Amino acid sequence: MPLSDQEKHNSKAMETASQVTALVNQARAGSKSAFEQLVDLFHEDIFRMVYYRTRARMDAEDITQEIFLNAFKSLSKLKKVEQFRIWLFKIGLNRIRDFYRKKRVRSIFGAYSDDDNIDQSDTTNNDQPEALNNLMKHEFWKHIGLLLEKLSRMEREVFLLRFMDHLNIREISQVLKSSESSVKTHLYRALQKFRKESELINLLKEEVTSQ
């Protein structure tokens, strides 16, 4: 029986856990190359995590750069080296919060429009399979956006961290500095709302049958 994404992720996480701890210790002792290896290990995860919340590639790239720079500069403040990944997510969520704060200020002064930065790449491609793919992509993000709009801030964050970033309940509670029972409650409420998103669920069904 093939492993699910979650299972693959868990086994990968277990394999890399000790490697990560060793690299973090080396980086804390002053090794830049050890930190660069940590960047290689987590760059994709962190970039995706930011992209899910900004839906703009360039912004996601800039924020990802900031996250790693921040982590590099404040590595000595990390108390539990084994929680490096969780710590990156914490920094990430704070940077994303800052990004939206600045964006709100800029939009008040008319210097920023919400449509300016949403990823429009590839939408002008007329190649048929590519165009279909882009249409699916557009539909998927549109419906995810509609779902997330219906969730409270905490429900949204818990849902994203659990099903898109593949963190477990304990990890989510650490990232959000919240109790596990609170995380579960918000996740449950988010799932109740997800269940009602019939269009999104149909889209997932299509995708399941087409793959």
Q: Contact residues for other proteins (CB under 8 A)?
A: 4-6, 27-32, 35-36, 39, 43-44, 47-48, 51-52, 57, 60-62, 64-65, 68-69, 72-76, 119, 121, 136-137, 140-141, 144, 163-164, 166, 169, 184, 187-188, 191-192, 194-195, 201, 204-205, 207-208
- Pick the closer one to other proteins by CB: 131 or 164: 164
Quick one: 55 or 103, whose CB is closer to other proteins?
A: 55
Distance, in Å, from the CA atom of 50 to the CA atom of 46, rounded to the nearest integer, reads 6
Cβ 18 to other proteins shortest distance, Å: 21
Given the complex with other proteins, which of 107 and 181 has the nearer CB atom? 181
* Residue closer to other proteins (CB basis): 107 or 123: 123
Distance from C-alpha of 180 to C-alpha of 69, rounded to nearest angstrom: 30
Crossing angle for the helix pair 5-28 and 32-54, to the nearest 10 degrees = 140
Please say which residue, 116 or 122, places its beta carbon nearer to other proteins: 122
Closest CB 100 distance from other proteins, rounded Å: 19
The 3-state DSSP class for residue 119 equals coil
Distances (CA, A) of 65 to 17, 78, 166: 23, 19, 22
Angle value at C-alpha 176, between 139 and 116, nearest 5 degrees: 35
CB of 110 to other proteins, least distance (A): 28
CB proximity list for 25: less than 8 A, separation 6 or greater: 81
Query: 71 burial class (0-12, 13-18, 19+ CB within 10 angstroms)?
Result: buried
Cα-Cα end-to-end distance for the chain: 17
CB of 97 vs other proteins, minimal distance in Å: 20
Q: Which lies closer to other proteins via its Cβ, residue 113 or residue 121?
A: 121
Query: Shortest approach of other proteins to residue 101 CB, angstroms?
Result: 22
**Least separation, in Å, of the C-beta of 47 and other proteins?**
4
